[in-house]
Amino acid sequence: MVEKPLVLSIAGLDPSGGAGVLADVRTIAAFDCAAAAAITSITFQNDEAVLGAEHLSPKTVRQQILAVAASKKIRAVKTGMLPTEAIVREVTALCREKVLPPPILDPVMTSSSGYSLMDEAALVAFVNDLVPRSLLVTPNIPEAERLIDKRIHDVEGMKRAARVIRDFGPRAVLIKGGHLAAAAKSGEAVDVLLDEEGQFELFTAEWTTGASVRGTGCMLASAIAACIAKGKSLKQSVAEAKQFVAGIIEKSR
């Protein structure tokens, strides 16, 4: 029997199952990959709000990852909530040591209810140390604005932001346009991919709030990681991941 490619999620635990590692594992399994997870933080949340969190030590995060890597080859990595500077530096060290392949980074900063999921020191380490070792960074509009410290108003602004973020050192950048005000007005959401060759690819879809679906960012990054693990190109991986998430949202309507 052919062994399924292993995808590792490094993220927080949402006990309600809507986001974080539980959403990641479901998504990875849906793409017929083997899923593993290293938990960075145990959050206290439900469908309405994040009420608090207990962050794990960097040593605990490392030991979880080393245990997985000791028995199987990790084909792709997706990161979500990396709440502290020490955890970011530990994940970066594991990339530098070749324990982990270049990861797909979902820069989880704030919950939809407004709870901070990454402190300022962690963000600085994320940008300076981990992003340059990544395959892809997948910010939404608010996250991209925080990364570049500038507002984004349209697709051209998304392209400019992608260029700035790519200058931080990742191989590619995907900016998700669902939060763009223009998307709601036009009924059309555009995601902007700046690929490894420095070329832009636009992915256009019907705009929807997806109000009843949490964790869409988690699912998208995990789906991309699963496709990468199966040997697909970045462009094809993004396209298939977007189709998967759109299907989840459609079923919830």
DSSP letters spanning 78-97: EE----SHHHHHHHHHHHHT
C-alpha span between 134 and 58 (Å, rounded): 19
Cross-strand bridge partners of residue 42: 13, 54
* One-letter amino acid of 210: G
- Please say whether the beta carbons of 226 and 218 come within 8 A: no
Q: What's 6-252's CATH class?
A: alpha beta
CA distances from 151 to 126, 154, 161, 166, 174 (A): 20, 10, 9, 17, 17
Question: Which pLDDT does position 245 carry in this prediction?
Answer: 92
Q: Mutual orientation of helices 155-166 and 141-148 as an angle, nearest 10°?
A: 50
Question: Which pLDDT does position 249 carry in this prediction?
Answer: 82
User: Could you list the pLDDT tens digit for every one of the 253 residues in the chain?
Assistant: 678 999 999 999 999 998 999 999 999 999 999 999 999 999 999 888 888 999 999 999 999 999 999 999 999 999 999 999 999 999 999 999 999 999 999 999 988 777 889 999 999 999 999 999 999 999 999 999 999 999 999 999 999 999 999 999 999 999 998 767 655 555 678 999 999 999 999 998 776 654 567 788 999 999 999 999 999 999 999 999 999 998 888 777 6
Handedness of CA 98, 57, 104, 120 (dihedral sign): negative
Q: Which residue has the tokens 């990544």?
A: 134
Domain locations along the chain: 6-252
Question: Which pLDDT does position 85 carry in this prediction?
Answer: 98
